[in-house]
Chains A and B, each alone.
Chain A
Amino acid sequence: MSSSDAAIVVHDLHLTRGSTRAVDGVSFTVPRGERFGVIGPDGAGKTTLFRMLTTLLVPDRGTAHVLGHDVAGAPWMIRPQLGYMPGRFALYPDLSVAENLAFYADVFDTTVAAGMARIAPIWSQLAPFAARRAGALSGGMKQKLALCCALVHRPTLLVLDEPTTGVDAVSRREFWDLLDTLRGDDLTIIVSTPYMDEASRCDRVALMQAGRFLAVDTPAGISAGFPLPLLALRAADRIGMLSVLRDFPHAVGAWPFGETVHYTDARVGAAPALVLAELREWAGAHGIADLEGEAITAGIEDVFIHRLAEHERAA
């Protein structure tokens, strides 16, 4: 893929902030029209990466081309085509909803009317509050206004830094549904989130930790790439079960997941039924008599925790 076909081409990007290597050798490509997710915990380097892509920070080393232009060399070519929603609400609280929207249309030298086709599905939900000051909106409404303001000039790349952080579960789902309405218009979206469950709403995701990408693939590909037997296990004594499972000789990891514990076995290709039988025997010998469970396919979170543990063992 040549760089002109891709919305984002990043090669070996580095940036040290203070004494932290916030972004430590990241390379990836996002084709035009794709919805690309960057998933990782707080402090993984997602915001620093996004600020380099949006020309707010200059990389120490490596290159990033956004919409065909180098972020360090030609930021003025990138900004007019970019819609950016920072992680923190960044609109004017003293200005009304309509005034904020008109302001962002004006500074991009366009009009709200010209951008209405793009933002119509979102604006329809905001219109009743058009005269309300932005600072007085609820969290979910603020996100929608920020999305409108980022889209009103019809950008070709939308950069969303943790748009759903601090928003309730219903508003989170609504927000992703709104992003679905933007599909099919040759709009590329790169979005970061700490919520693993949002990975499935992206075309491809990158798992980010400590300034590095641990994996880049489709959500299905990431799950399918999990090489080891994985079981969801239950017992009355969850805490006791956890330490007993971690002591099992073939254990790679055991992590609490809601009501169950997800257990990963080190033996590639081992039959899950056999592993479960061994585990029950082991647990019974260590005071856990009621161990139950079944084999499951890995979710993004399982992969992430597994990759993270591998990464830490390697370091």
Chain B
Amino acid sequence: MKLRTIGALMRKEVLQVFRDPPTLVQVLAIPLIQLVVLANAATFDTGATRLLVRDDDRTPASAAMVAELVGSGEFTVVGTAVAPAHIEAVLRRREAAAVLQIPAGFAAAVARGEPTAVQLQINAEEGAVAGLIQQAALAIVERQAGAPSTLEVRQQGWFNPTRRYKDWMVPGILVSLTTIIGLLLTAQSITREKELGTLEQLNVTPVTKGEFITAKLLPFWGIAMGIFTVGLIVSKVVFAIPTVGAVPIVFLAAMVYLSVALGIGLWISTVTQTQQQAMFVAFFVLLIFLLMSGLFTPLEAMPDWAQAVAHANPVMHFVGLMRAVLVRGAGLAEVGPTIVGLGIAGAAVLGLAVMQTRKTLE
């Protein structure tokens, strides 16, 4: 590996990025805009739920429960229901998001200390919202009824019980954006040279495969680290995310993690022929990585095989590490094995990219 050759290749790479306006926008502006927009949009705060009430009990106890629901600020009563058909129609028209039915004899049963049932029907088209409504109503109803209700309790570990969503989501979004940009840039970089024909010329030079991949990795690695750093500062300054643990651990992990993400991008670029093919493969990989990262859907809800796949997902490990260190204050002793694991994965995928590099035409 000649440092001079690598230096020349890297200088060329950096010049190309900074002279191509679309790439420059892709690198500098888009990630930060997305971070700000997505961090504000990715919240599970649903506001006050529109509630339709059917009170067949008509006692002070049932009225007090409804009052408690409204008083919590989580619900507004939009009407009182009559017939079951009417209830369904109201839900369908989305005039209400949930219907609370209190049966006759509710107050009497509560007074006797007997089990009783209140029914809460929720429009579950949007699962996350339904879950929140359910949890909010459950707490209040249980408190009022003073007895176990028929509302089924299901623990869903993926939303923040303290409702500080941004603490939880912003690090995840930052990881997603850095991964997307880094992986797309590297996936395009070699195929672009194949399309330009410059790779054909470059292949008739003494440049080795290792020098070539090293010089392709380092500039984009630097760019991705830059994006990550600026994003972390924005997260702290604008969104006031907690930094309970040591920030240097997060940077160390980011440096190792990005070698995996960019290595995958480079590997895609070595096995595809055009930028379009590379983009398709990169998007496929990104979608699986991001959707199976535990960022948007709980890992615990996945079937066993999917959880096994998710554990091979570097994004999942890095998102988990970021949250553990920043929110919970995990130390190097706890996350060290994850960093070592990412390092092994990075070495493997970069080795694969070097092996797949061809000095001949396919």
Contact = CB atoms under 8 A, between A and B. Distances in A.
A163 B206 CA distance: 23
B200 A56 contact: yes
A244 interface: no
A82 to B, nearest CB: 6
Contact of A104 (B7, B200, B205, B359): B205
Size bracket, chain B contacts:
20 to 34
A107 B205 contact: yes
A86 B197 contact: yes
A103 B8 contact: yes
Contacts of A99: 12, 15
Interface in A70-105: 75-76, 79-80, 82, 84, 86, 88-95, 99, 102-104
A107 B207 contact: yes
Contact of A55 (B5, B7, B360): B360
Interface in A118-166: 133, 149
Given A75-B359, A88-B197, A56 B203 contact: yes
B201 A91 contact: yes
Contacts of B361: 51, 56-57
Given A82-B204, A90-B196, A106 B16 contact: no
A84 B206 contact: no
A236 to B, nearest CB: 48
B34 interface: no
B112 interface: no
A90 B9 CA distance: 15
Interface string B193-213: 000111011111111000000
A54 B4 contact: no
Contacts of A88: 197, 200
Contacts of B15: 94-95, 99
28 contacts: A51-B361, A56-B200, A56-B360, A56-B361, A57-B360, A57-B361, A75-B359, A79-B206, A80-B206, A84-B204, A89-B197, A90-B196, A91-B198, A92-B16, A92-B198, A93-B196, A94-B20, A99-B15, A103-B11, A104-B205, A106-B4, A106-B5, A107-B5, A107-B8, A107-B202, A108-B205, A109-B4, A109-B5
Interface of B: 2, 4-5, 7-9, 11-12, 15-16, 19-20, 196-198, 200-207, 359-361
A138 to B, nearest CB: 18
B19 to A, nearest CB: 4
Nearest to B12: A103
Contacts of B207: 107
A86 B205 contact: no
Interface of A: 51, 54-58, 75-76, 79-80, 82, 84, 86, 88-95, 99, 102-104, 106-109, 133, 149
Given A84-B201, A99-B15, A106-B5, 5 more contacts: A54-B204, A82-B204, A86-B197, A104-B205, A106-B4
Contacts, number: 76
Contacts of A79: 204-206
Contact of B16 (A55, A82, A95, A107): A95
B196 A92 contact: yes
Contacts of A109: 2, 4-5, 206
Nearest to A85: B201
A51 B360 CA distance: 9
A57 B361 CA distance: 6
Do most interface residues of chain B lie in helix, strand or loop, or is the interface mixed?
helix
Nearest to B360: A56
A103 B2 CA distance: 14
Nearest to B203: A56
B72 to A, nearest CB: 60
A133 B12 CA distance: 13
A235 B362 CA distance: 52
Contacts of A76: 206
A90 B20 contact: no
B19 A94 contact: yes
A107 B9 contact: yes
A75 B358 CA distance: 13
B12 to A, nearest CB: 5
Nearest to A54: B204
A109 B3 CA distance: 10
Contacts of A94: 15-16, 19-20
A88 B193 CA distance: 13
A99 to B, nearest CB: 7
Nearest to A48: B361
Contacts of B200: 56, 86, 88, 90
B151 to A, nearest CB: 62
Contacts of A93: 196
Contacts of B197: 86, 88-90
A58 B360 CA distance: 8
Nearest to B5: A107
B156 to A, nearest CB: 50
A189 to B, nearest CB: 15
Contacts of B203: 55-56
B1 to A, nearest CB: 12
B198 to A, nearest CB: 5
Contacts of A82: 204
Contacts of A104: 205
A90 B201 contact: yes
B117 to A, nearest CB: 71
A56 B203 CA distance: 7
A108 B206 contact: yes
A86 B199 CA distance: 11
Contacts of B8: 102-103, 106-107
Contacts of A51: 361
A95 B16 CA distance: 7
A29 to B, nearest CB: 22
The 5 A-B pairs with the shortest beta carbon distances in the complex, nearest first, are A106-B8, A90-B197, A90-B201, A84-B204, A94-B19
